[in-house]
A = this chain, B = another copy of it.
Amino acid sequence: MTHQLITPDSRFDAVILGNGDFPSHAVPLGILRNAPHIVCCDGAGISLIERGIVPDAIIGDGDSLPQKFKEEYGHIIHIVNEQEHNDQTKATLFCRNRGYRRIAYIGATGRREDHTIGNISLLMDYMTDYGMEPVMVTDHGYFIPCRGRSEFATFARQQVSIFNFGYTKISAEGLAWRTYDYRNWWQGTLNEAEGDSVTIDTDGNYIVFFTHNAKIRI
């Protein structure tokens, strides 16, 4: 599979806006602005409407929505009370039912760190279990769940981190540092693209992170 650079002009079927930090970087803001559909996780719906954008839908248990807000926006609020899934996954299932497969997750990080870790790792299940094409876009970079062989458009000194989700063999081209079968989360972090392309080949699943900006060397 080939992945283009994620830029403010990258196109997605929909954006899922989480209840973490509202984005401030040009890339997630551009994607949000261009989104054909926006689905918000619970309280994120309030943040978005305060900024003048009304989403297609607000999904969650409704716990964080004031009664007055619920009355005014009842037509786009979908209360899902089951406790099996968090709001991000509820929003993902909503998108799948609508036929949106290529999803940008924005605002999914930046508050409780255990939520950040959980939300990133859920991307893998959305790919393997739900057949989605998810990309999480933060103020710092973007996460893509992958399996097997993938090629990525990159730029020199773009920072790259690889997280092992079950492979035992890995090889890569275009990275500054050797890859191996990382056992601990940190081991695949702090790599770097050498030029305009990186290819990763594994016998399993992994999540790769790319920064928006090149590392500056003094």
Contacts and interface: CB of A to CB of B under 8 A. Distances in A.
A189 interface: yes
A184 B112 contact: no
Interface of A: 63, 86, 109-122, 124-125, 138, 140-141, 143, 159, 161, 163, 165, 184-186, 189-190, 209, 211, 218
By Cβ-Cβ distance, the 9 closest A-B pairs, closest first, are: A121-B185, A118-B186, A114-B161, A118-B189, A112-B140, A114-B209, A121-B186, A122-B186, A114-B189
Q: How many copies of this chain?
A: 2
Nearest to A122: B186
Q: Main secondary structure on chain A at its contact with chain B?
A: mixed
Nearest to A205: B184
Contacts of A165: 184
Contacts of A211: 112
Contacts of A109: 113
A170 to B, nearest CB: 17
Given A113-B109, A138-B113, A218 B63 contact: yes
B111 A140 contact: yes
